[in-house]
Structure formats: structure tokens, C-alpha cells
Amino acid sequence: EESDVLRIVVLPWLAMGHLRPFLRLAKSFARKGHRVSLISTTGNIRRLPKVPEELSELVDLVGFPLPEIRDLPPGCESSMDTPPQKQYLLRTALDSLHDPTRKYLEEEKPDWIVYDYSFSWVPKMAAELGISGAYFCVYPACFLTFVGQGKGHAEYKLEDLVNVPKWIPFPSNMAFRPHELMRNKEMQHATESDVERFNLVKESSSIFLLRSSPEIESEWIELLAKQYDKPVFPTGFLSVADEENETPADDRWIQITDWLDAQPPSSVVYVSFGSEVVLTRKEVHEISIGLERSGSPFLWALLDRSDQLELLPEGFLQNVGDRGRVYSGWAPQVAILSHPSVGGFLTHCGWNSVTEALGCGRVLILFPVMNDQGLIARLMDSKGLGIEIPRDHMDGSFSGDDVAETVRFAMVEEGGGKLRENARKMKELLEDKEKSQHYVDKALEYM
């Protein structure tokens, strides 16, 4: 029925780790016949994967030009383009979308706005225009419950964050390590204004949509609903099936594909630390030594920055020979993880990356760096889906041997058999597309 068709606008934060899940959610809504617009800057819209033809009438990607922002380098429209010390200027960029977004909402008159953590001005705008608001959280439930309700930035003390919070009523390992908090501070990702925005968004929304799955964290999802006393709808991990063929059209990628095709099934370790994590020379050096000593074939996707390639130890590529490949630039992660020769994933534990790997049945070798990644690593470890590379809790130091031993355990040793079996079982659970769509359907029913 036409009257049952919802008109929904979705507003993601300016980072690919947010834009992609918001687009996947938009496509899940559209599969049920609802009309959805995703709003971002023109530069970010250009980067998103094409909407499948059968959904193109229902999903509209709306790009607003970004005005010149003082001190923000030209072309910086997402967190992956922006130097860490300039990240705060992306908040200014986001706020510049206020007026065009309001004009769009006034013209389109949607039923719902689904927004990200940083859109603190949307709840008031939605209320004035009579539009319902939902917060779509691209982080796991364990992170939201860990940070607690409405705490200000200054209220957090170090001991609050390196210990399991008192309000978690079940046995848990959920706490940051001191070195992870230091890295967060250095990256200057969170400011007073971020925390205030986040709290306002959480408190003002009618419902939470959560990119997670009861198969992974049912106890955390239940706790979250109690904590905030509002409906929480997990969306599942959202299908990436239509992105598996999204690959670069260049000779380097063809060579990588040929190399992957030549490797034994489930033997390759895929190594990637996402589009924002910048590793230190020492970290790159020890990871390189570890991969070399592990004996496993590996494909390492490095950031397309000359300084990252230069950090590789001298002679590293010659030493590993045909056993390893380093790919510099944007890597089609879903296509790589779904390749049958890939068995494990050495990851920074970004939630996007982790959920994509779980959907492909890959064992996780955990190397959290910043933001919520430490908590995600603890979650995966507690569920028997990954193993952390041992590190000094205070300064984060580790050795190449630590990397090599962890890779061998995850990939080939008998002791890691349970991890590999758990990864396969998780893939089977998450492959149930009907169940995944059922989660989204329950949210739509409420909406």
C-alpha cells in the first residue's frame, strides 16, 4: 500500500566507516519498498558504491557542496582525507550542511530521519518539522553500554576506563588498556564537543538502531535497552553481497587476484588497519618481522601514503618473496575477505572490518589502535572469535615474535582450531539473509 511506504532520510558522519553502513541500511529499507535519501557532501557521495539497479528508484544519494572551511585543506570531505590534528574541522564542515539539510527536509517531508552521533542539531530540527528521529549507531552495543549514560568528557577518570564499569551486571573483560587511551589522546579524535553531541543525539532520539546482531552480543543489546529505557533494534550486520564485485580496474589488482587464486584455501592472512590508522615506524617494523617469521602467506593493504610504504624494513619484500604481497591504496576489502584463499584477518578492530570478516568466516588476529577498537577486541576475544597480539598494557609495545606466534596460532596450530571452527560457525549464522532482513523489518514495523 502506498500509505505504508515510509519516506526516510539518513545522515551519516563524514567517514567511510559510517557512510557505508548507512548506505547498507538505506538499501535494506528500500528492499521493503520504502523511499530513502542519503545526504552527505558531493565528494563523499562520489566515493560510495553504486546503488543496485533494482533499488535505484528508491535510494537517492544527495550531495551538497562543502563550502570552504578555514584551515581545512581543499578536498578534505571525510576523515580519511583529513590529518588527525585537523579532524575537529570536519565538525565545522558537517555543521555547514545545516541549512541545505533543513531546506531538503522542508521540501521532502520525510516520516523519519536516521542520523549519526555527530548530528546534534538534527533532533531540534526534526521536532520543529514534526519528523521522528532515530539514532543509528555503527558501533557495537558493548561500546555504548561501556561509556554509560550522559557522562561529560571531564567526568571520565582514567580508572573509569581501564576497569570494567560497575553497571555491567555480568562477568566481562570490557575495559580499555592504558596505551589505547594514550593513542586516543594523541589522535585528538574526541573533544568535549564530541561527547556533548553524542550525549544529545542519544538522549533525543525516539529509538536506537544498532548495527549489531544478537548472535554476537545479545547480553549487551539487552543491557543497552535497559540503560537508556528506549527501544533498541539491532539491524544485523547488513548485507555486503552487492559489494563483493566492487574492485579496482587496474593491473596491480589483477596481479593480486592472480596471486590469491594461486594460494591454498584458507591459508592467507589479510592485513589491514583501515583508512585512518597511521602506524608508527616501530609498529610497521615489528608487524613486518612477525609476518616474515610466521610462515603464512599474507596480503597487506597499506594506506596510499608514501610515508607508510617507506616504513617497511629494508629488504622485507625480497625476504618474503612470493609468499607475501603489499598493496598500496584503496583495497576492496569485501572482495578480499570473501576470497577462498583468505583464512585470517590481522585487523585494527574497526567494527566495519570486524563485521565484514565475521560474515566471511575469517579468524581475527586483533591489533586495536584507537577509538572503540580496544573494546571490540575484548568482545571478539571473549566470544572466541579472535586472538589479540600480546602487548604491554602501559606503552603498547610488542615484538615481531609476538606477531608471528599469534598468526601461527590463529592460522595453523592445533590450539587455534576452536577459533577457526567458531569463525566458520559464525559465518553460517550470519549468512542467513532472511534473519538479517528480519531484524531490519522489526525496526521498520515500529517505524
List pLDDT tens digits, range 89-98. 898 899 999 9
Q: What is the DSSP letter of 235?
A: -
- Which grid coordinates are listed for 69? 572551511
* Domain 251-429: CATH superfamily, name plus number: Glycogen Phosphorylase B; (3.40.50.2000)
pLDDT digits (tens, 9 = 90+) for 115-145: 999 999 999 999 999 999 999 999 999 999 9
In the chain, the amino acid numbered 213 is S
Residue 303 CB contacts under 8 Å (≥ 6 apart), including other chains: 273, 275, 278, 328
How would residue 152 be classed by pLDDT, with cut points 50, 70 and 90?
Answer: very low
The answer to whether the 7-241+432-446 and 251-429 domains have the same CATH topology is yes
Query: What was the pLDDT predicted at 189?
Result: 52
Query: What was the pLDDT predicted at 329?
Result: 78
Q: How large is the average pLDDT for residues 8-18?
A: 95
Q: How large is the average pLDDT for residues 308-321?
A: 89
pLDDT > 80? residue 74: yes
pLDDT > 60? residue 322: yes
pLDDT > 50? residue 390: yes
Please say whether the dihedral angle defined by the alpha carbons of residues 154, 157, 163 and 168, taken in this order, is positive or negative.
negative
How would residue 434 be classed by pLDDT, with cut points 50, 70 and 90?
Answer: confident
- Which grid coordinates are listed for 392? 604491554
Q: What percent of the chain has pLDDT over 90?
A: 72
How many Å apart are CA 24 and CA 208, to the nearest integer?
A: 17
Q: What is the DSSP letter of 54?
A: G
Query: What was the pLDDT predicted at 318?
Result: 93
Say which residue, 354 or 186, is predicted with more confidence.
354
209, 440 Cβ separation under 8 angstroms: no
Query: What was the pLDDT predicted at 208?
Result: 97
How would residue 149 be classed by pLDDT, with cut points 50, 70 and 90?
Answer: low
Exposure pattern of 426-436 as b/e (b: 16+ CB <10 Å)?
A: beeebeeeeeb
**3-class secondary-structure state, position 52:** coil
Residue 111 CB contacts under 8 Å (≥ 6 apart), including other chains: 6, 7, 8, 131, 132, 447
How many Å apart are CA 66 and CA 279, to the nearest integer?
A: 30
Q: How large is the average pLDDT for residues 385-407?
A: 98
Reading across the β-sheet that carries 112-115, which strands appear in turn? 59-64, 35-41, 7-11, 112-115, 132-137, 207-210, 232-234
- HSE-CB of 346 using CA atoms within 13 angstroms: 28
- Which grid coordinates are listed for 22? 548507512
**3-class secondary-structure state, position 316:** helix
165-174, 375-384, 405-414: least confidently modelled range: 165-174
Provide the whole-model pTM: 0.92
> Quick count: other Cβ atoms within 10 Å of Cβ 117?
22
Which burial class, exposed, middle or buried, applies to 105 when counting CB atoms under 10 A from its CB (0-12, 13-18, 19+)?
buried
Mean pLDDT of all residues in the chain? Answer: 91
pLDDT > 90? residue 431: no
pLDDT > 50? residue 65: yes
Domain ranges of the chain: 7-241+432-446, 251-429
CATH number of 7-241+432-446: 3.40.50.2000
161-175, 215-229, 230-244, 406-420: least confidently modelled range: 230-244
How many Å apart are CA 286 and CA 289, to the nearest integer?
A: 5
Q: How large is the average pLDDT for residues 234-245?
A: 78
